Amino acid sequence: MSAQLGDPLTPELRDILNNLAAGLFGLDAWVKEPAKYLPPNQNLPWRATGHTFTPTDLAVIPFFENLLRESSGDDDLGVRWGTVAADPLRYSPLPNPTAWRKNRGLADVPKFGIVPSGNVWLTDAAGKTISRVTFYAQCWPLLGAVVGARQKVGPVDWAALASDLLNNAAPEWPITSQPPSAKFVIQFASDMLYGMLGMRSPAPEQWKRAILVELGEYRHPGNEYKREDASVAVKAFEKLAGLSN
């Protein structure tokens, strides 16, 4: 399995990730719950008889591959932040920043705190800013080992596998590994959510908004409404709340 930039995920890894995404969310069981909210539009392809609704329908893995590519610059930023952390005044434009600091009563030894400030997305165990592609590259062999072990004893229960990863409970992914499996699965689930709710996935138009439609969320890129739409919605609310006849 390879996940270098510009080198797409292997078919094998794509399959694993599609299955893991399915196990993370359980979309099919959710939309088939009898008591679940029913969207007003009944003509929804993911609810079609015989269809099993999974994140694969939403093209989350092609989206994920694009995300790996477009966020790869974080590795360069990590190098930069490492340089600044080692020498926080290195890029100062002041002619003598040490003297300038002394004159203002500031500490002799400055620090660069960008990572604890939270203005970076991912870090490694040492606190270095890394890109998604670097983060996941550490995970693929471990994930492969977990899946491989389960495949040897029968069909994989992907929901159970997802739970085990979340709980750092997969023996093939030792708790001492970096990153631990929980960190991996949370990041992966986060990226899947972006694919499913962010509406940037390459899925066909109606499918892009499937999860939002199932949640009763109507905002989407390009939407627009009129005053009358708000008025109709207010009336529906008042009727349901017993505020009007």
Partner 1 sequence: MEVADFVIVGSSGGGGTISWLLAKAGFKVVVLEQGTDLAQPLSDTVANPLDKKGNVEAESLKYNPYPHDEYRFRLERPDPKRRLRGEYNTFRSSAAANAAPFNGAWTASVLGGGSIIWGTWSFRALPIDFRLRTHFAATGQLDKLEKEWGYSIPDWPVSFAEMEPFYNVAETLLAVSGDRDAVTTAVKDSAWYQEFARLEYFSQAGNWQPDFPFPCEPYPITPVGDFFWQGAAAAGYHPVPLPSGMVTPGSPGYKTRAKIQEALKHNRPAGAFWKQSAQKIWSDRVRSACNLCGYCGEYLCWGKEGPKSGSRVSTIKELRDLHNAEIVTNAKAYEIIYDARTRRATGVRYLDVSDPDNPRTRVQRGKHVVVSCGAVQSARLLLMSGPSAGLGNNNDQVGRYAMFHLFGLGITATLPPQFQGILHGEFGHTGNTTSFETYFVKDDVTQTDTAGKWWKAGTMTSTAKKNPLENADGKLRGKSLIQRPLLTAMEAYNRTLEVRLTADDLPRADNRVDLDPVYVDEYGFPVARITRNFGPNEQLMFQLVESKLRKVCDLYVKKGILKQEKDVTFGKAIVDLIGDHQMGTCRMGDDPATSVVDRNCRLHDTPNVFVIDTSFFPTGFGLNPMVTTVANALRVGTWIVEQSKRGKGLD
Q: What is the nearest approach in angstroms of partner 1 to the Cβ of residue 186?
A: 6
Which residue is listed with tokens 């604890």?
Answer: 116
Binding of partner 1 at residue 144 (CB under 8 A)?
no
CA dihedral (214, 219, 224, 229) positive or negative = positive
Q: Which stretch binds partner 1 (CB under 8 A): 54-62, 140-148, 170-178, 221-229?
A: 221-229
Kindly tell me which residue out of 34, 49, 155, 227 binds partner 1, with binding defined by CB under 8 A. 227
Which residue is listed with tokens 């203002």?
Answer: 104
- By the 8 A CB rule, do 201 and 59 touch? yes
Please state, in angstroms and rounded to a whole number, the distance separating the CA atoms of residues 243 and 186. 42
Report 7-36 residues binding partner 1 (CB under 8 A): 23-26, 29-30, 35
Kindly tell me which residue out of 8, 39, 82, 180 binds partner 1, with binding defined by CB under 8 A. 39
- By the 8 A CB rule, do 16 and 144 touch? yes
Binding of partner 1 at residue 93 (CB under 8 A)?
yes
- Number of residues located near partner 1, criterion CB under 8 A: 82
Q: What is the nearest approach in angstroms of partner 1 to the Cβ of residue 194?
A: 5
78 in helix, strand or coil? helix
And the tokens for 201? 């996935």
Binding of partner 1 at residue 82 (CB under 8 A)?
no
Binding of partner 1 at residue 176 (CB under 8 A)?
no
2 versus 237: smaller Cβ distance to partner 1: 237
233 in helix, strand or coil? helix
Please state, in angstroms and rounded to a whole number, the distance separating the CA atoms of residues 180 and 172. 11
Q: Which stretch binds partner 1 (CB under 8 A): 89-97, 139-147, 149-157, 169-177?
A: 89-97
